[in-house]
Structure 1
Amino acid sequence: MSLSVLRLAIDKKYGLLITTNQARRVREKALKSIEGDHEDQYGLVWDYVDELKRTHQGSTVFVEYDESEEDGTVGVFKRIYVCLKLLIDGFKAGCRKLIGLDGCHTKGVHKQQILTAVALDPNNGWWPLCWAVVEK
């Protein structure tokens, strides 16, 4: 939402006239509330990996990160690869033996790509095989 539209919406709904700087701060707070802090979200990657390994025995999950030697932290996230065993078993059992690859760019602070490998199931639907998030 543009700042001028936001200002008009606040004026219409609440009868308040706010400055452009106030509208900018409101929009930034709203986006942070909706999307969350990027660093907090990347901190959850390790919980995601642990849960996948716990609930999907035989699946493949790789995470790569830059190790930080200065402060002794675990590191900064670089990329992740996920391949669930159930999806591979389903592919072998009934999907067409044709694999498609696709990728898209992410928006935001961290410029990355999401790469996916898919197949066609017997109903001509997409069957995901694996996915990865990699640096641009």
Structure 2
Amino acid sequence: MKEDIKRKYECMVSIGQCGRAKKKILDEFEGGLKEHYARLSDYQAEILKTNPGNTVKMDVNTKVNGDIYFSSYYICFKGVKDGWINGCRKVICLDGCFLKNSGQLLSVIGRDANNHIFPLAWVVVSVENKENWKWFLDLLRDDIEMEGGLGLTLISGQHKGIIEVVKDVFPYAQHKQCTRHIYANFKKKICRLQFKNLFWAATNSTTEQQFQEKMEELKTISKVAYTHLMERDPISWSRAFFEIGRACDAFENGMSESFNSRIRVARRKPILTMLEEIRTFVMHRIFLMATKQKV
């Protein structure tokens, strides 16, 4: 843009001036933040009208003076949840990411029969906390028809209060912590190749005896490292404790990270534009995957 202006108008402008001009044009084309948030109710009504069975919920906060402020916005499409219920593994990954303008996007990503990502539901929240995670998962539980979560496996990182919420909403589900998050915190305290190898060996252990042997070996080297890992509840991050017959033995949250990366550009845009781009991406992906499988 800077070079185009120099060539066409023979004048120099800064990168900052180009950025402000581009933002002004985009605001005029897409609308400002206030306009987008004011139209969320219309967007909800349109989604429910065009495809009955979709779930769209908006939660707001009303102040003493009567002003209404956005709190959270949940979306789960009927075709997507029906596809998950009827044809996907009973495994979901939970994660969150920041938005460029304000707030955060929390998402639930499933796995199809071929272990490919299957976006299931997402919610825009003003802040990621225990209350918003519970609001999200309560709605999800009703949509996917898994009261109590019997037979369900959830994989998550170390998000704010999410472990307590999962146990409350899905008391009979198996919860797994993403080992990448555990190792990232572990590495901050103890950064040695020997510890790394023992950690991943314990993580990949297939029996409790094998797990105990690796942890005892780690304990002889460093009691601090041993205590740090045991406090993270090995039942949720080592294969040795995963229940038999579960649909997935994975212990990493790569599905959610892939989804967050794919919508990186959309996350920079105003909320309605972002939600539409996510909807379009999910629709195209499910269609292409279904077509590919038929072929």
TM-score w.r.t. structure 1 length? Answer: 0.74
2:45 partner SS? helix
5+ residue gaps, structure 2, are 128-295
User: Aligned match of 2:123 in 118, 122, 132?
Assistant: 132
Percent of aligned positions that are identical: 35
Alignment-derived partner of residue 87 in structure 2: 94
Structure in which a larger fraction of residues adopt helix:
2
Alignment-derived partner of residue 58 in structure 2: 63
2:73 partner SS? strand
1:97 partner SS? strand
Amino acid at match of 1:58: G
Alignment-derived partner of residue 122 in structure 1: 113
The offset of 1:94, in angstroms, is 0.8
Rounded to whole Å, the distance in 2 between the matches of 1:83 and 1:28 is 31
The offset of 1:130, in angstroms, is 0.8
The offset of 1:59, in angstroms, is 2.6
| Larger Rg belongs to | 2
1:53-90 per-position Cα deviation (integer Å, ceiling 9, x unaligned): 112322322101123664x67x3322101122221111
Runs (4+) off by over 4 Å:
17-25
Structure in which a larger fraction of residues adopt strand:
1
> Quick one: structure 1 residues 107 and 12, their matched pair in 2 at CA, closer, same or farther if it must change by over 3 Å?
same
2:56 partner SS? strand
Alignment-derived partner of residue 45 in structure 1: 40
> Quick one: structure 1 residues 13 and 89, their matched pair in 2 at CA, closer, same or farther if it must change by over 3 Å?
same
> Quick one: structure 1 residues 39 and 95, their matched pair in 2 at CA, closer, same or farther if it must change by over 3 Å?
same
> Quick one: structure 1 residues 119 and 20, their matched pair in 2 at CA, closer, same or farther if it must change by over 3 Å?
closer
